[in-house]
Amino acid sequence: MPSPQRLAVLQTIQQRQPIATPPAQKLDELWCQDVFSLEKMKAALPKEIFKSVQRTIKEGSKLDVSVANVVAQAMKEWATARGALYYSHVFYPLTNTTAEKHDGFISPQGDGTAITEFTGKVLVQGEPDGSSFPNGGIRSTFEARGYTAWDITSPAWLMETPNGVTLCIPTVFVSWTGEALDKKTPLLRSNAAVNKQANRLLKMLGESEIAPINSSCGAEQEYFLIDSAYVPLRPDLLLAGRTLFGKPSAKGQQFDDHYFGAIPERVQVFMQEVERQMYRLGIPAKTRHNEVAPSQFEIAPFFEAANVATDHQQLTMTILRSTAKKHGLACLLHEKPFAGINGSGKHVNWSIGNATQGNLLDPGQTPHENLQFLLFCGAVIRGIHLYGPLLRAVIATASNDHRLGANEAPPAIISVYLGSQLEDVFTQIREGRLSGSSIGGVMNFGVDTLPEFDKDAGDRNRTSPFAFTGNRFEFRAVGSNQSVAGPLVSLNTILADSLGWIADHLEPRLAAGESVESASLAVLQQVMEQHGNVIFGGNGYSEEWHRMAVEERGLENLRTTADALPVLARPAIRELFERTGVLTPVELQSRFEVYAEQYILAIEVEAKLAVQIARTQVYPAAMRYLGELAESLKLQSSLGMEVSPETSRQVASFCQQLMDLSGQLQTALDQAPHGTEAHLRHCADTLVPLMDQLRTSVDGLETLVDDNLWPLPSYQEMLFVR
């Protein structure tokens, strides 16, 4: 029988009913209800003004203040008609979170009355006191000015609470000296960098009409849902978002009965409310299903422009968390809430394209498009090979370390999966024999006649961190709790860099009169000779690959965040970001500092919690049990029964270990070294292993101590009772 506190929780859960929400609405009523969409702008703005806004959004032309004034007026009228009294500049600091500062529309008049007011200047620019946001030393607190500036390319929306709505305006966040303090600014810059280099290359391929090129993103979000009543009884879930202790449940995911199984009703009701809110905010929720682990689920939208998708992804995480609360559930976005079963990732599907040439990573049907595809795909291959460690660094967090390298998620070694057909094509390019021969009767190659690919020909590879999936790449190593901005910025930047390199190498050949085809294939061959090593189609989990990748292919295996983050300080990375205009050296350095600090803080919070839970919850329960055992042994021997003190000995031994290890952990916490890199290493090499060892004694005790005395809700309860 569970302890009384746990029993009370289980009884609460037993009585839960699915929470009915308002009657279902049709999509066209829901869609963009809470968004100041282009459609709403078109209706509200004078024709010329609307055209100017459209030009800014679609072509990136400069936003005029006089235009902003008119838009602000219309936006305010729309929002206040819906009951908004406040507006908020929403921005995305380096902490993976979303930040807001709220201001009232109110403007008191001299005569005691008040009106609402909202000018173009206020729409376009805000000045929150940014001093409390981590900035990695870009500014000291005495010069804490930070500015938010309206990002017109992402629509404004209304955030609704039971007591009204707030107008939310997506913004970038920069310092007084103009440095990016957020995740949106570099994303916009990286898009511009890709646009510039892709444009250059397309022109060389003979294109004359080239619409602005943008990156796209569709992010699949995995998450766990457990009943919220467990959380107050688990300080680790409450403060660290994951369980630091817990013996495995007898049944886990070994039956594979959860994946794509029937969605439990309570969860489905939750999902439907989430989707409805997403539709109101113009977020195109598209798929939902059970994931591999018990109580694990996934939601994925239809892809959008990377910048908008990123804002929408942040909103999705907020909606998941807040809606769960309403339904008596806790949505766990941590990458590894429970040991021993799958963790959660966020697959970032990414491509680039535009309105005139379409998706530039679509293999397509016509030879001309294929040549284009091969060059863009080759650029990706080169980028991933040169900057794989960067991709590892931008997904490095304390929580994602539990996935990467563990036997369920992509490994920490960044390789590219192309699928057998494409891998074959690129192998031929490497060997310089892409010359009119047909392979397996499927593809017909000639200098002029490049192959036709079967789009679904590429198989799936769940063990690759970075896989081509038909017409896009899927970066599968991103953590469930992360902003997708960092990965997208890096992908765009390395692509821009490689497209630039390819263009630089095509240029002299074309100038010398070589045909586009032959020049392209020659450059691609060079790419493959230098970088083809990054392509891997086998099992990414295997030990063989871990050895081969490092020893034979020269790829890096950066196991922990402490290994990966220092990559950001490498000269090659600094030059990459500077050359492409995406991040200045100061901005990059600040990112290293902030991410390192986040890692250190996360590990230290966990270590403190581990000591606290072990000493104040687990140890007392175990000692009480030991006392009970002693009493009963005494009784047994007084009755002349044969006594077996084995359990007592085991409990006592685990208790001893628990006290020793928690003591060591506390000491290690108190002896943190100075200097960021040393501190990172201390966390990864000392604190994490000590926590793992401490876990062994605590979980050992859970297998022995009377369930009636055990204070923490068990894995079995949390994962299976809802």
What is the residue whose two structure tokens read 């821009």? Answer: 496
Of the pair 327, 347, the CB lying nearest Mg ion is at 347
Residues 279 and 30: beta-carbon distance below 8 Å: yes
Total residues contacting ligand ADP by CB under 6 A comes to 15
Closest approach, Cβ 273 to ligand ADP, in A, equals 20
What is the residue whose two structure tokens read 């999966």? Answer: 417
Residue 302 binds which one of Mg ion, ligand ADP, none, with CB within 5 to 8 A depending on kind?
A: ligand ADP
For residues 474 and 219, give the distance between their C-alpha atoms in angstroms, rounded to a whole number: 9
Which residue is nearest to ligand ADP, using beta carbons? 218
Closest approach, Cβ 567 to Mg ion, in A, equals 26
Residue 301 binds which one of Mg ion, ligand ADP, none, with CB within 5 to 8 A depending on kind?
A: ligand ADP
Binding status of residue 355 toward ligand ADP by CB under 6 A: no
For residues 80 and 86, give the distance between their C-alpha atoms in angstroms, rounded to a whole number: 9
Residue 156 binds which one of Mg ion, ligand ADP, none, with CB within 5 to 8 A depending on kind?
A: none
Q: Which of 34, 220, 335, 517 binds ligand ADP (CB under 6 A)?
A: 220
For residues 322 and 281, give the distance between their C-alpha atoms in angstroms, rounded to a whole number: 15
Q: Which of 167, 229, 244, 300 binds ligand ADP (CB under 6 A)?
A: 300
Q: Which of 349, 480, 492, 590 binds ligand ADP (CB under 6 A)?
A: 349
Closest approach, Cβ 485 to ligand ADP, in A, equals 15
Closest approach, Cβ 476 to Mg ion, in A, equals 7
Residue 696 identity: T
87, β-bridge pairs: 103, 167
Positive or negative: CA dihedral 241, 242, 243, 244: negative
**Could you say which residues in the range 268-287 bind ligand ADP, by CB under 6 A?**
287
DSSP code at position 616: I
Residues 283 and 308: beta-carbon distance below 8 Å: no
For residues 417 and 423, give the distance between their C-alpha atoms in angstroms, rounded to a whole number: 8
Compute CA distances 137 → 93, 133, 591, whole Å.
Answer: 14, 11, 10
Residue 487 binds which one of ligand ADP, Mg ion, none, with CB within 5 to 8 A depending on kind?
A: none
Closest approach, Cβ 378 to ligand ADP, in A, equals 18
Residue 336's nearest CA partner among 257, 268, 397, 270 is 397
Residue 493 identity: T
Residue 237's nearest CA partner among 333, 342, 104, 366 is 333
**Could you say which residues in the range 65-124 bind ligand ADP, by CB under 6 A?**
none
- Cα 607 to its chain centre, rounded Å, is 24
Residue 359 binds which one of ligand ADP, Mg ion, none, with CB within 5 to 8 A depending on kind?
A: ligand ADP
Phi-psi map region of 136: left, alpha, beta (phi>0 left; psi -120 to 50 alpha)? left
DSSP code at position 340: T
Residue 218 binds which one of ligand ADP, Mg ion, none, with CB within 5 to 8 A depending on kind?
A: ligand ADP
Binding status of residue 301 toward ligand ADP by CB under 6 A: yes
Of the pair 167, 198, the CB lying nearest ligand ADP is at 198
Of the pair 462, 624, the CB lying nearest Mg ion is at 462
Compute CA distances 127 → 141, 151, 175, 473, 672, whole Å.
Answer: 15, 15, 10, 38, 36
Query: Which one of 6-14, 50-58, 96-104, 348-356 is the stretch in contact with ligand ADP (CB under 6 A)?
Result: 348-356
First to last CA, the chain: 18
**Could you say which residues in the range 4-23 bind ligand ADP, by CB under 6 A?**
none
Query: Which one of 298-306, 398-406, 432-440, 572-580 is the stretch in contact with ligand ADP (CB under 6 A)?
Result: 298-306
Of the pair 287, 530, the CB lying nearest ligand ADP is at 287
Residues 609 and 244: beta-carbon distance below 8 Å: yes
Closest approach, Cβ 467 to Mg ion, in A, equals 9
Residue 351 binds which one of Mg ion, ligand ADP, none, with CB within 5 to 8 A depending on kind?
A: ligand ADP
Residues 312 and 281: beta-carbon distance below 8 Å: yes
Of the pair 426, 468, the CB lying nearest ligand ADP is at 468
For residues 317 and 280, give the distance between their C-alpha atoms in angstroms, rounded to a whole number: 15
Which residue is nearest to Mg ion, using beta carbons? 347
Of the pair 175, 351, the CB lying nearest ligand ADP is at 351
- Cα 300 to its chain centre, rounded Å, is 13
Of the pair 331, 478, the CB lying nearest Mg ion is at 478
Residue 7 identity: L
Of the pair 218, 388, the CB lying nearest ligand ADP is at 218
Query: Which one of 21-29, 32-40, 347-355, 597-605 is the stretch in contact with ligand ADP (CB under 6 A)?
Result: 347-355
Closest approach, Cβ 221 to Mg ion, in A, equals 11
Instruction: Say which residues have a Cβ less than 8 Å from residue 654's Cβ, sequence separation at least 6.
Output: 622, 697, 698, 700, 701, 704
Closest approach, Cβ 166 to ligand ADP, in A, equals 28
Residues 521 and 512: beta-carbon distance below 8 Å: no
Of the pair 202, 594, the CB lying nearest ligand ADP is at 202
Residues 542 and 413: beta-carbon distance below 8 Å: no
Binding status of residue 218 toward ligand ADP by CB under 6 A: yes
Residue 260 binds which one of Mg ion, ligand ADP, none, with CB within 5 to 8 A depending on kind?
A: none
**Could you say which residues in the range 356-375 bind ligand ADP, by CB under 6 A?**
359
Binding status of residue 216 toward ligand ADP by CB under 6 A: yes
Query: Which one of 119-127, 183-191, 343-351, 409-417 is the stretch in contact with ligand ADP (CB under 6 A)?
Result: 343-351
Q: Which helix (H) or strand (E) holds 171?
A: strand 164-175
Binding status of residue 303 toward ligand ADP by CB under 6 A: yes
Q: Which of 277, 342, 351, 421 binds ligand ADP (CB under 6 A)?
A: 351
DSSP code at position 472: S
Residue 84 binds which one of Mg ion, ligand ADP, none, with CB within 5 to 8 A depending on kind?
A: none
Residues 59 and 212: beta-carbon distance below 8 Å: yes
216, β-bridge pairs: 305, 351
Closest approach, Cβ 540 to Mg ion, in A, equals 15
Of the pair 89, 347, the CB lying nearest Mg ion is at 347
Of the pair 302, 438, the CB lying nearest ligand ADP is at 302
Closest approach, Cβ 549 to Mg ion, in A, equals 23
**Could you say which residues in the range 463-502 bind ligand ADP, by CB under 6 A?**
471-472
What is the residue whose two structure tokens read 């692509």? Answer: 495
Query: Exposed, middle or buried: residue 541 (CB in 10 Å: 0-12, 13-18, 19+)?
Result: middle
Of the pair 315, 611, the CB lying nearest ligand ADP is at 315
Number of neighbouring beta carbons within 10 Å of residue 95: 15
Of the pair 299, 705, the CB lying nearest ligand ADP is at 299
721: Cα within 13 Å, side-chain hemisphere: 19
Residue ranges that bind Mg ion, judged by CB under 5 A: 347
Dig out the tokens for 645 from the structure. Answer: 């003190």
Of the pair 471, 650, the CB lying nearest ligand ADP is at 471
The full 3-state SS of 10-39, as one line of letters, equals HHHHHCCCCCCCCCCCCHHHHCCCCECCHH
Helix (H, G, I), strand (E, B) or coil at 439: strand
Of the pair 214, 590, the CB lying nearest ligand ADP is at 214
Of the pair 273, 474, the CB lying nearest ligand ADP is at 474
Closest approach, Cβ 48 to Mg ion, in A, equals 44
Q: List b or e across 125-140, with b for residues whose CB sees 16 or more CB atoms inside 10 angstroms.
A: ebebebeebbbbebbe
Of the pair 283, 434, the CB lying nearest ligand ADP is at 283
Query: Which one of 300-308, 599-607, 636-644, 655-663 is the stretch in contact with ligand ADP (CB under 6 A)?
Result: 300-308
For residues 284 and 218, give the distance between their C-alpha atoms in angstroms, rounded to a whole number: 10
Q: Which residues bind ligand ADP (CB under 6 A)?
A: 216-218, 220, 287, 300-303, 349-351, 359, 471-472
